[in-house]
């Protein structure tokens, strides 16, 4: 004789069995009642009874969800499943998810129209810690770009990249610029990378400033690098100059010869071939390096006209 006992309002679940790839999941059906009509066909929502031999009632007749959208797999579905369980049983949301795991949740919840779960994923992205790696944000941007349904996620990603994050290094930003430069859909990200590299460019050698500035069309870096090479005390090595090209090397050596010669002051210093820093010159011909800056600007403009008309993308 069956007894009509009351069910707990929160902790009595209707469940369904789902199959993703070769893995079975038995989950509360309240948030995920999905019947996939077939590969490439939009999913429809229907009440699936978890009884008898109906689909989803056991591991023998699971609801088959493969193939998942956006090349998802069982690991992606497991990320969504944990959120479903937490939401159903009023438990805390996962606290150790990576950016990639939350993206799994957002991808699947967007495709299946699980708006409440998607909102949870978006909220976690918006509040994400600065420790997230730059590579993860770039991966997220790659996925969202040109997908209108994920435009809000892309905006969150760009906003995070705009923040001055001390954990992102010069090399990482340079890699990000290399990935996005010249791609129209990533022009905003390229500008952000250029801005961050500009703030970190004191870590670059003069040679690297010229190279990167030419590669990414940033005039400021090229000019700064040329100035540094022209006025530094010891001449650049031949291999370093050679990496800029023969014409650049010859022009720089010519400019150095002109400017360093004009800095010689007294006969003693000229005799030993040392650019003058001697403030005891009796003949008054000592020239401070600063006084030559305008001459150096003119010489660089004269000898490197093509570099000075580069479009300046720096922010």
pLDDT band at 208 (very low <50, low <70, confident <90, very high): very high
> Range of 265's domain?
210-308
- Condensed to tens digits (0 to 9), the pLDDT of residues 18-56 reads 999 999 999 988 777 654 443 333 343 344 443 456 777
Q: How many residues does the chain have?
A: 315
Q: Tell me which of 34 and 192 has the higher pLDDT.
A: 192
The C-alpha atoms of residue 279 and residue 281 are separated, in whole angstroms, by 6
- Judge contact between 270 and 264, C-beta under 8 A: yes
Which range has the worst mean pLDDT, 145-149, 228-232, 299-303, 309-313?
309-313
Q: Is the pLDDT of residue 307 over 50?
A: yes
Please report whether residue 254 resides in a domain.
yes
Q: Is residue 274 part of a domain?
A: yes
Question: Of 141 and 276, which is predicted with more confidence?
Answer: 141
Decide if 37 is inside a domain: no
How many structural domains are present in the chain?
1
The answer to whether position 123 is within a domain reads no
pTM here is: 0.74
**pLDDT at 209 > cutoff 50:** yes
Closest by CA to 106, choosing from 84, 88, 80, is 80
pLDDT at 25: 95
CA triple 226-248-237, angle to 5 deg? 75
The answer to whether residue 99 is domain-embedded is: no
Gap between the Cα atoms of 225 and 94, Å rounded: 48
Instruction: Tell me the C-alpha distance between 44 and 66, whole Å.
Output: 15
pLDDT digits (tens, 9 = 90+) for 228-284: 888 877 777 788 888 888 888 888 788 877 776 555 445 444 444 445 445 554 444
Which are the contacts of 92, defined by CB distance < 8 A and separation ≥ 6? 86
More confident residue, 270 or 191: 191
Residue 273 lies in a domain: yes
Residue 21 forms beta bridges with which residues? Answer: none
Contact 27, 18 (CB under 8 A): yes
Q: How many CB atoms lie within 10 A of CB 179?
A: 16
């Amino acid at each position: 004789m069956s007894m009509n006992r009351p069910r707990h309002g929160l902790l009595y679940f209707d469940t369904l069995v789902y199959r993703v790839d070769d893995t079975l999941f038995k989950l509360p059906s309240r948030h995920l009642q999905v019947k996939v009509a077939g590969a490439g066909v939009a999913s429809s929502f229907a009440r699936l009874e978890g009884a008898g031999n109906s689909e989803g009632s056991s591991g023998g007749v699971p609801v088959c969800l493969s193939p998942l959208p956006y090349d998802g797999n069982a690991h992606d579905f497991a990320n969504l499943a944990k959120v479903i369980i937490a939401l159903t049983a009023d438990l805390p949301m996962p606290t150790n998810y990576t950016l990639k795991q939350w993206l799994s949740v957002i991808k699947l919840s967007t495709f299946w129209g699980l708006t409440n779960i998607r909102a949870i994923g978006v909220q976690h992205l918006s509040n994400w810690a600065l420790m997230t790696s730059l590579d993860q944000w770039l991966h997220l941007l790659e996925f969202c770009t040109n997908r209108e349904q994920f435009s809000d996620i892309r905006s969150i990603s760009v906003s995070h990249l705009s923040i001055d994050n001390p954990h992102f290094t010069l090399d990482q930003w340079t890699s990000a610029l290399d990935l996005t430069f010249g791609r129209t859909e990533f022009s905003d990200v390229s500008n952000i990378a250029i801005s961050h590299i500009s703030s970190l460019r004191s870590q670059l050698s003069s040679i690297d400033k010229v190279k990167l500035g030419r590669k990414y069309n940033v005039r400021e870096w090229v000019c700064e690098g040329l100035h540094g090479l022209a006025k530094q005390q010891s001449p650049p090595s031949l291999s370093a100059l050679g990496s800029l090209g023969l014409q650049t090397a010859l022009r720089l050596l010519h400019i150095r010869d002109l400017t360093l010669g004009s800095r010689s002051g007294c006969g003693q210093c000229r005799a030993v071939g040392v650019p003058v820093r001697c403030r005891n010159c009796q003949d008054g011909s000592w020239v401070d390096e600063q006084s030559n800056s305008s001459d150096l600007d003119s010489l660089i403009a004269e000898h490197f006209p093509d570099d000075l008309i580069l479009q300046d993308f720096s922010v």
